[in-house]
Amino acid sequence: MHSDTKMPMGACSHIGIFCVAVYGDAVHEDGARRAESEWHGELANAKHGEKGKIIIMYDLVLFDLDGTLVNTIKGLVAAVNHSLSKYGLKTRTEQEVQSFVGNGIRKLIERSVPEGTSTDITDKVFGEFKSYYVEHCLDNLEEYPGIKELVKELYEKSVPMAVVTNKNDAAAKKIIKQFFGDKISVVIGAHENIPKKPAPDMVNMAFDEINRRGITFKNPVFVGDSEVDIQTALNSGMSYISVSYGFKTREFLEQAGAKTIAEDAEELKRIL
């Protein structure tokens, strides 16, 4: 069970390095803060330590993976096209695959196969993708400038972090280990029979794992690059920050309802 104690007006926490302004009764119930649009409008204009604003700290940062922490698109394209080619299907461009990402690998494959493809063939392409990608998920990865440094700074400031992604769990853990070592130790990827984002189930799994490690938190934030991440945060009752350096453009995110958007790692650090 996550703490639902409400932060009194005038209180201030100094656990992490990231500050946000608290207005009225903005602290969540059941372990996460309710992320209303008005809250995000104020958050975008808040300044650290500005007189007249009550300052607290984010004490937990949850990240999406693809398009947020690591640029995985080239590896995804290679795996999709390998799987399509094996069954004689037309391959996809990088731009197409990028537009298909966000709702898990089953949806990625369903969107990648040509319209009218039978369920039997789609299942075979999906199976091939899963086995191929787990073996090749570390191929063709690219860093986003400044993200490793941001994660390192969070780690050194003892701010707990977790990854919640619709990517296959085994592949997600391998990628995070490769890029960030043990700095992010809680990684929740897709499992059979567990609802994927934007359902809150995977976020709750991350919360439970963090609690089991004796870490308490009241003010988590979700950082992601897609409309799925925005809705995940809202469904989980927590604040969110969108990033436009990943798979979705700023315009797309704004149309999806994003109120706070970072263009790069430096801006993300300033916003957090």
Residue 54 has pLDDT above 80, yes or no: no
Name all domains of the chain by residue range, CATH numbers in brackets: 57-70+143-271 (3.40.50.1000), 73-136 (1.10.150.240)
Q: Under a CB-based contact definition with an 8 Å cutoff, are residues 63 and 163 in contact?
A: yes
Mean pLDDT over 129-147 rounds to: 96
Say if residue 138 is exposed, middle or buried (CB neighbours under 10 Å; 0-12, 13-18, 19+).
middle
For residue range 139-182, what is the model confidence (pLDDT) as tens digits? Answer: 999 999 999 999 999 999 999 999 999 999 999 999 999 999 99
How far apart are the C-alpha atoms of 32 and 78, rounded to whole Å?
38
With a cut of 70, say whether residue 119 has pLDDT above it.
Answer: yes
Provide CB contacts within 8 A for 138, sequence distance 6+. 75, 174, 175, 178
Judged against a pLDDT cut of 80, whether residue 193 lies above it is answered with: yes
Segment 227-272, tens digit of pLDDT: 999 999 999 999 999 999 999 999 999 999 999 999 999 999 988 8
More confident residue, 41 or 143: 143
When the pLDDT of each residue in the chain is averaged and rounded to a whole number, the result is: 84
Q: Report whether pLDDT(221) > 50.
A: yes
